[in-house]
Amino acid sequence: MTDRELRELCTRYFDAIERRDVDAVAGMYAPGFTFWVNLTGAESSREENLATLREGYALLRRRTYDDRRIDTFATGFLARYSVNVVQHGGRRGSFAACIVALCKDGRITHIDEYLDSSKFRAPAGEA
Amino acid sequence: MRRDSELLALCDRFFDAIEHKDFATVEKCYAPECVVWHSHDCLYQSRESNLQTLRDGMNRLKKMRYKNRRIHTFEGGFVQQHTLSVTHPNDFVGQMDVCFVAYTRDGMISRAYEYFDTGQIEKFLGPRPAPAS
Amino acid sequence: MTDGEIRELCHRFFDAYQDRRVDELAELYAPDCIVWHNVFGREQSGADNLAALPKSYEGQRRRTYDDRTIDTFEGGFVIRYTLAGVQHSGHRGALWICIVALCRDGRITRIDEYMDSSKFAAWAGRGPASGRAS
């Protein structure tokens, strides 16, 4: 895939997640897509990841993927970005994240995601 | 997503604060991890060191103005081209054309790259005193 | 122009510059293209910039445009890069440059180039900073 195709795929991927278009995300995953996240160290399947995505939307009012810095390489892309969340109660939070994605024939075949789970917890004293 | 209006506001806020000698606002524009790279030494200056440089300039110079500002925003940052005009304590007015590229995180400047020509430093700092004979 | 088109134009421009393909560069400059250099503080036409290239290329054995970091915006790009040069003497030097370019319809309409002229001597292998004996 070319640099342009990889960048467009990366941008479409995050845009689709932002607008909660899980069908579009599904269309970008290759049939054997796998997802690994540093939080659990476990690998999930395409269907498991899509289900997690759907379920996750109910937990927050809004989540956007900002400050996207994309670098491409022969077989995929690296994206560094800020995840900005707004909780149902209105509280806002932001944390840095990164994914390394392998791609082939216009689709994503594997993602390694790196997050910091300490950012998910409310500060001490808050509910 | 693209946040052009926020990036433009951040860029304006940062440079306006320097002009107005509003150090508190300048400091808030820099993320905690911010570093600033300069083309004359290709080194990353720490947030604290760069803020000190700006503070020294704001204290010492009579006036700092960012003229002819041309801004372009992109995903995760902006570039501003300007002519920095400074009025020194001796009333010499120095000028330097600068290109400032900033990468942002969560509405703050996370990393900046500044390009300018130190080969024309006398136009900015003033003529150097002649060496004592 | 899209992000992809602008990036491709940027790479095509620098690859042509690197490979000394002046004819291709002529296709990439819009007829009304203006080039401004911070070192000289003045504008020149794209045509004049191209006309000066053959002589400029004689100055070094080789130039490469490396470490290209490109960000695109509506109607243009900003690129930060390392200009690595090999002089005829074999001396290797580098300059760190930033260009802001405006684009339209697949061509470049304006280039603003920022360099540090105090680095020219080291780039060329002249003077004490070059490490040469004389």
- pLDDT tens, residue by residue, A5-42: 999 999 999 999 999 999 999 999 999 999 999 888 89
Instruction: Give pLDDT, residue A118.
Output: 79
Q: Which residues of C touch B43 (CB under 8 A)?
A: none
pLDDT band at C127 (very low <50, low <70, confident <90, very high): low
From the list A14, A68, A84, which residue is nearest B106 (CB)?
A: A84
State the pLDDT at residue A116.
Answer: 84
**Which residues in chain B are contacts of A96 at CB distance < 8 A?**
105
Q: What is the pLDDT of residues B40-92, one digit of tens each?
A: 888 999 999 999 999 999 999 999 999 999 999 988 999 999 999 999 999 99
Sheet (strand B77-87) strand order: B44-46, B30-38, B108-115, B93-105, B77-87, B63-74
In chain A, domain spans = 3-119
pLDDT of B133 > 70? The answer is no
Q: Is residue B57 part of a domain?
A: yes
Counting the structural domains of chain B, the total is 1
pLDDT reading at C132 higher than 50: no
Exposure class string for C24-58: b at 16+ Cβ within 10 A, else e: ebeebbbeebbbbbbeeeeebebeebbeeeeeeee
For residue A111, how many C-alpha atoms fall within 13 Å in the half-sphere facing its CB? 25
Q: For chain A, which chains pass the contact test of at least 3 CB pairs under 8 Å?
A: B, C
The answer to whether C4 faces chain A, any CB pair under 8 Å, is yes
Q: A96 near A85, Cβ under 8 Å? A: no
pLDDT, residue A40, reads: 86
Confidence label for C133 from pLDDT (cuts 50, 70 and 90): very low
Neighbour subunits, C (≥3 Cβ pairs < 8 A): A, B
| Residue B97: per-residue pLDDT | 92
Q: Which of C1, C6, C7 is the best substitution to test chain A (most A C-beta atoms within 10 A)?
A: C7
Place of tokens 């069908």: A23
Distance from CA of C53 to the nearest CA of B (A): 22
Using the predicted structure, report yes or no on whether residue C134 has a pLDDT greater than 60: no
Alpha-carbon distance values, C48 to A99, C70, C112 (Å): 46, 26, 15
Q: Which domain holds residue B14?
A: 4-118
Q: Is the pLDDT of residue C30 over 50?
A: yes
Indicate the pLDDT class of residue B4, thresholds 50, 70 and 90: confident
**CATH entry, C3-123, from 3.30.110.40, 3.30.70.141, 3.10.450.50, 2.60.40.10:** 3.10.450.50
Q: Considering the domain boundaries, does residue B34 fall inside one?
A: yes
Nearest to A34 by CA among A14, A49, A23, A56: A49
Chain A residues lying within 8 Å of B1, measured CB to CB: 14-15, 18, 64-66
What CATH number does the domain containing B52 carry? 3.10.450.50
Q: How confident is the model at residue B129 (pLDDT cuts 50, 70, 90)?
A: confident
- The shortest C-alpha distance from C71 to chain A (Å) reads 9
Residue B98 covered by a domain: yes
B133 occurs within a structural domain: no
Sequence-distant (≥ 6) Cβ neighbours of residue A31 within 8 angstroms:
A46
Closest alpha carbon within chain C to A5: C4
Question: What residues of B are in contact with residue C66 (Cβ under 8 Å)?
Answer: none
A125 pLDDT exceeds 60? Answer: no
Q: Are A67 and B1 a contacting pair at CB < 8 A? A: no
What pLDDT, on the 0 to 100 scale, is given for residue A122? 52
Which architecture, in CATH terms, is A3-119?
Roll (3.10)
Q: Please indicate whether, in this complex, the C-beta atoms of B101 and C114 are within 8 angstroms of each other.
A: no
- Cα C92–Cα C94–Cα C100 angle in degrees, nearest 5: 155
Whole-model pTM: value is 0.85
